Structure 1
Amino acid sequence: MDKQLNGHKAITQATLTSRAALRKSLRQARKRLSPACQTTASKAITHHLSTYFSNAFNTPTLNVAAYLANDGEVDVLHFIQHSHKFCDIEFALPVLHPICKGHLLFLHFTKSTPLVTNQYGIKEPELACHNVIPVRQLDALLMPLVGFDKSGNRLGMGGGYYDRTLAFTKGQTVKPKLIGIAHDIQQVSSLPIAPWDVPLDAIVTPTGILYQSA
């Protein structure tokens, strides 16, 4: 069940229950995908992201936050490893904030970055202050999700980490591009929305760029 974020009124129990049930169903669906399907999805995502980045940005170097796949998420390591073919990208990975609970930090990431396992069993960079990239300095974030709809709404794992960390982007024109990454089976006709949800700028699946904000 979603935890209420600070500064927002609680949504109805029916909406919370609906989100929890949908989250469970979609997580099970993506975890049932075969390794071969996951590999194909990862390569297709790389192709579509290369198109998106080539069209959306006109700068020599970009700071982009990615993630390490878990729980059946689309693996974006293939994109990280091949992005140099079309763009100069400095990558970062999310780290659970050690002080501001429920928030994320983003740390510089390369193939030689030391990794540790966090409380959720997910690998993340070893905390080092000199490697922190302020979220406002990121050009884009590749964000895992559990579910999405055609309007660019995102359903996450329920912890609210991204929503808290990115709350500042709401209503702003100068902000990082928020790009949801998902399997096509994670699309639903309409998501039950909570007040704290941060909408996406684009959604990329193995099929293509299914959503892109104006």
Structure 2
Amino acid sequence: MISGFRKRWARKKALTRRAQILGDRDVLARALVDRFPSDIWPRIGQVVSGYVPFGTEIDSFPLMETFFCEQVSLCLPVVAERTNALMFRKWEPADGLGNGLCGNLEPLSDKPEMTPSLLIVPLLSFDAKGHRLGYGGGYYDRTLSGLRAGGVPVTAVGIAFEEQLVASVPTAKNDQSLDLVITPSRVFQP
């Protein structure tokens, strides 16, 4: 119960802090391309999931478009049911998007399902240990848990503005850690 209260308070604070970030957000999002570590840079044909930015989230599209130009297979998350893990559908930069169950934009239902081995993950805040605070739906936690338990070799990379770093993120037993977090100025690898 205390953890739930702490997380709600932390989410509210993180949303406010992220909304106040100054600077050219497009330039900051493009800086992620240069900062992305070469040792996990996707290979031709590798399946990578990004996300459609919501609100004041850092934009994953500059990364995704760069990966696409290098012949990486892209997909985006789809919320099929509120209590399930995410599913992923094929996406290319010229594809249209439709409204999802939670009001988010996602690939159209005629796109094939895919299983990513590299997930670009949005977040509200993060700490240097790789803990991530999301919106509270648990979608990425259930997804990462299921992929990892199923033996899928998956790398979870959070992308964020530098200002989203906090001393400590409140965690619960089902929370999944990120493998690294990339900001426009540096990489955090727990």
Instruction: Work out whether 1:131 is the aligned partner of 2:115.
Output: no
Instruction: Work out whether 1:118 is the aligned partner of 2:100.
Output: yes
Unaligned segments of structure 2, at least 5 residues: none
Residue of structure 2 in register with 1:181 after alignment: 159
Residue of structure 2 in register with 1:160 after alignment: 138
How far off its partner does 1:57 sit?
A: 5.4
How many aligned residue pairs are there?
190
Residue of structure 1 in register with 2:87 after alignment: 105
Residue of structure 2 in register with 1:33 after alignment: 21
Q: Are the aligned partners of 2:33 and 2:62 in contact in 1 as well (CA < 8 Å)?
A: yes
Of 26, 40, 55, the match for 1:71? 55
How far off its partner does 1:67 sit?
A: 0.4
Distance between the aligned counterparts of 1:95 and 1:168, measured in 2? 15
Structure 1 letter corresponding to 2:5: T
Stretches of 4+ moved more than 3 A in 1? Answer: 57-60, 169-174
1:114-165 per-residue CA deviation (whole Å, 9 max, x = no partner) reads: 311124332111112x51003xxx2200000111111111111100011112
Residue of structure 1 in register with 2:6 after alignment: 18
Instruction: Work out whether 1:92 is the aligned partner of 2:75.
Output: yes
Q: Are the aligned partners of 2:148 and 2:154 in contact in 1 as well (CA < 8 Å)?
A: no
Instruction: Work out whether 1:207 is the aligned partner of 2:185.
Output: yes
Structure 2 letter corresponding to 1:124: E
1:8-36 per-residue CA deviation (whole Å, 9 max, x = no partner) reads: xxxxx2221111111111112212335x5
Q: What TM-score results when the alignment is normalised by the length of structure 1?
A: 0.80
Q: Are the aligned partners of 2:158 and 2:182 in contact in 1 as well (CA < 8 Å)?
A: yes
Closer, same or farther: CA 58–20 of 1 in aligned 2, 3 Å: closer
Residue of structure 1 in register with 2:33 after alignment: 46
Q: What TM-score results when the alignment is normalised by the length of structure 2?
A: 0.89
| Matched-pair identity in % | 26
How far off its partner does 1:84 sit?
A: 5.0
Larger Rg: 1
Distance between the aligned counterparts of 1:57 and 1:207, measured in 2? 17
Please give the root-mean-square deviation of Cα atoms over the aligned residues, in Å.
2.2
How far off its partner does 1:166 sit?
A: 1.6
Distance between the aligned counterparts of 2:99 and 2:39, measured in 1? 35
Unaligned segments of structure 1, at least 5 residues: 1-12
Q: Are the aligned partners of 1:27 and 1:146 in contact in 2 as well (CA < 8 Å)?
A: yes
SS at match of 2:14: helix
How far off its partner does 1:41 sit?
A: 1.4
Closer, same or farther: CA 144–77 of 1 in aligned 2, 3 Å: same
How far off its partner does 1:207 sit?
A: 1.2
SS at match of 1:61: coil
Structure 2 letter corresponding to 1:133: M
